[in-house]
C-alpha cells in the first residue's frame, strides 16, 4: 500500500505542469506590521483576499493603492492598545487568533475558526464577530483550526486540532502523539455542533468537494489526507485514505474545477518531517521536485499540479494555497505577507 501510493505520487510529476516560483511572476502583499495570514477568503463580490493575522484581526486587501484595512475582530474583550500590531503569541488568548476563514456564498457572512474563541461569524460589513460554538459533546474546543461551508445547507464543517494543546503549543501536540483532535459540524438551523469523528492526530485543513458529497481533511501529524463521505443521513463516518503527503499538510482549498490544493509546511529546521526525503531526494529525475509547498489533487487523488518553492524564503512556511481568478494566493502562519502568483 505504501509503495503503491508513493509510486502514484512519483509518476504523476511526469505529466503535470509544475509551478516553480522563481520562473513565475509573483507579488507579495506585505502586511502592516503583523504576521501569519494563515488562511484567505474572498467575499460575495469577489473582493479580497481577507486574512486573519497574529494580532487577532481580520484584514481585507483593498488593492494596490489602499492596501490592508481592518475588517473584523474575534476576541470579546480584546484590548486594542495591547493587541493591535502584536506578533506575540503569548497574547493570543487575549487578542484572538483567527485561523480558517470562509464566506458563506449564499448569506455573505464570514465564518471564522478562531484558535481560542471557537466557531464565529460576522456579517458582510465586518465588526465584532459573534461566537456560535465553543464546545461539542461537553468538551470545550481548545484549538479551532479550519472550516468549510456547504452552501446548500449552511452546515459548517470544522476542526479542533486538540482538546489538550492550544495553538501556541502546537509543537507539543505533535511531539506527544496527541490523538484528541476532532472533526465537527455546526448546523445553523439547529444551532448545535455534532462530533463527526474524534481521535485524530492534529486535524487541520478541511475542504468540501464541488458537489459536497465528501470532504477532505488534513491529519497533519500523520501526514495523511483523509476522505469522509457525507451523503445520506449519516450518524457515523469512516474515513478513507485519500493521499499521503511528503511534508506536514495544512489547509486544503478546492478550486472552481473541484480540484484541491493542499498546502505543505516546509518550516525548514523546525518541524520538518523526515518523509521529505521520500518525495524529494530518492529520485534524481528530470522532474525532480526539490521543495513542494503545495500539491494539487483531482477528486480521485491523482496529483495534477505542484507548487515548488525552489528552496527560497518566499514560500517557506506555506499554510494555504488557494486558486482564485487566475492567480494562486499563498498564506502562511508565520510570514508577514501573502504571495500572489500568476497561475
Ligand X SMILES: *[C@@H]1O[C@H](CO)[C@@H](O)[C@H](O)[C@H]1NC(C)=O
- Residues forming the site for ligand X (CB under 6 A): 88, 90-91, 190, 192, 194, 209, 211, 213, 299
**Cβ-count burial of 140 within 10 angstroms (0-12 exposed, 13-18 middle, 19+ buried)?**
exposed
83 versus 328: smaller Cβ distance to ligand X:
83
209 versus 317: smaller Cβ distance to ligand X:
209
CB of 336 to ligand X, least distance (A): 16
CB of 232 to ligand X, least distance (A): 11
30 versus 192: smaller Cβ distance to ligand X:
192
CB of 79 to ligand X, least distance (A): 11
CB of 108 to ligand X, least distance (A): 25
CB of 22 to ligand X, least distance (A): 33
CB of 213 to ligand X, least distance (A): 4
54 versus 222: smaller Cβ distance to ligand X:
54
Per the structure block, which three cell numbers stand in for 45? Answer: 463580490
19 versus 91: smaller Cβ distance to ligand X:
91
208 versus 264: smaller Cβ distance to ligand X:
208
Amino acid at each position: 500500500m505504501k509503495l503503491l501510493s508513493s509510486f502514484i505520487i512519483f509518476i504523476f510529476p511526469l505529466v503535470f505542469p509544475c509551478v516553480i516560483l522563481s520562473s513565475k511572476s509573483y507579488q507579495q502583499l506585505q502586511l502592516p506590521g503583523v504576521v501569519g495570514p494563515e488562511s484567505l477568503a474572498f467575499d460575495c463580490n469577489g473582493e479580497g483576499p481577507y486574512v486573519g493575522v497574529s494580532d487577532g484581526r481580520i484584514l481585507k486587501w483593498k488593492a494596490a493603492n489602499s492596501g490592508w484595512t481592518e475588517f473584523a475582530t474575534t476576541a470579546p474583550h480584546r484590548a486594542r492598545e495591547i493587541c493591535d500590531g502584536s506578533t506575540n503569541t503569548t497574547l493570543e488568548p487575549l487578542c484572538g487568533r483567527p485561523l480558517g476563514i470562509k464566506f458563506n456564498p449564499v448569506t455573505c457572512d464570514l465564518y471564522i475558526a478562531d484558535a481560542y474563541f471557537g466557531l464565529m461569524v460576522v456579517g458582510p460589513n465586518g465588526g465584532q464577530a459573534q461566537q456560535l460554538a465553543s464546545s461539542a459533546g461537553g468538551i470545550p474546543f481548545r484549538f479551532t483550526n479550519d472550516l468549510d461551508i456547504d452552501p446548500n445547507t449552511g452546515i459548517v464543517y470544522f476542526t479542533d486540532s486538540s482538546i489538550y494543546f492550544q495553538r501556541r503549543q502546537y509543537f507539543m501536540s505533535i511531539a506527544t502523539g496527541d490523538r484528541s483532535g476532532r472533526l465537527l459540524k455546526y448546523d445553523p438551523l439547529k444551532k448545535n455542533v455534532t462530533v463527526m469523528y474524534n481521535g485524530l492526530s492534529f486535524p487541520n485543513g478541511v475542504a468540501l468537494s464541488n458537489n459536497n458529497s465528501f470532504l477532505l481533511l488534513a491529519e497533519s501529524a500523520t501526514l495523511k489526507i483523509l476522505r469522509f463521505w457525507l451523503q445520506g443521513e449519516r450518524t457515523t463516518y469512516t474515513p478513507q485514505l485519500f493521499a499521503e503527503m511528503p511534508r506536514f499538510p495544512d489547509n486544503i482549498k478546492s478550486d472552481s474545477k473541484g480540484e484541491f490544493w493542499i498546502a505543505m509546511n516546509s518550516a525548514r529546521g523546525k518541524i520538518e518531517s523526515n518523509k521529505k526525503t521520500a518525495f524529494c531526494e530518492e529520485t534524481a529525475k528530470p522532474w525532480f521536485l526539490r521543495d513542494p509547498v503545495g500539491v494539487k489533487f483531482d477528486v480521485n487523488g491523482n496529483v495534477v499540479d505542484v507548487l515548488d518553492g525552489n528552496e527560497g524564503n518566499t514560500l517557506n512556511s506555506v499554510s494555504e494555497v488557494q486558486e482564485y481568478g487566475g492567480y494562486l494566493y499563498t498564506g502562511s502562519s508565520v510570514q508577514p505577507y501573502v504571495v500572489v502568483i500568476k497561475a
